[in-house]
Amino acid sequence: MLTVDSQPASRTIRLYDRGPADDMTALGTGALVAEIKSNPDGTYEFPNLSQQRKFLVVGIDDDGEHNAVAADMIVPVPMP
């Protein structure tokens, strides 16, 4: 869930390739895989991602009031 000042928010989220999930030392291409907007409740989903890859997820404050926030080496988890 994406939050701004501890409140759910709708902001741009970018997903970058970081390489094979089974090799934490491989950096991958760094290519932009997808860009979406989170829902007003802060939730977001990148469908159809390979669990064999890891990713860098970057949340960007479109209002320009806060620095971007990143989560690195993320391996997708299937949704029920």
The DSSP element (H or E) to which 12 belongs, if any, is: strand 12-20
pTM: 0.89
3-state secondary structure of 25: coil
pLDDT score for 25: 84
Residue 2 has pLDDT above 80, yes or no: yes
**What is the pLDDT averaged over residues 31-41?**
97
**Which of 46, 41, 39, 54 lies closest to 14, judged by CA?**
46
pLDDT score for 37: 97
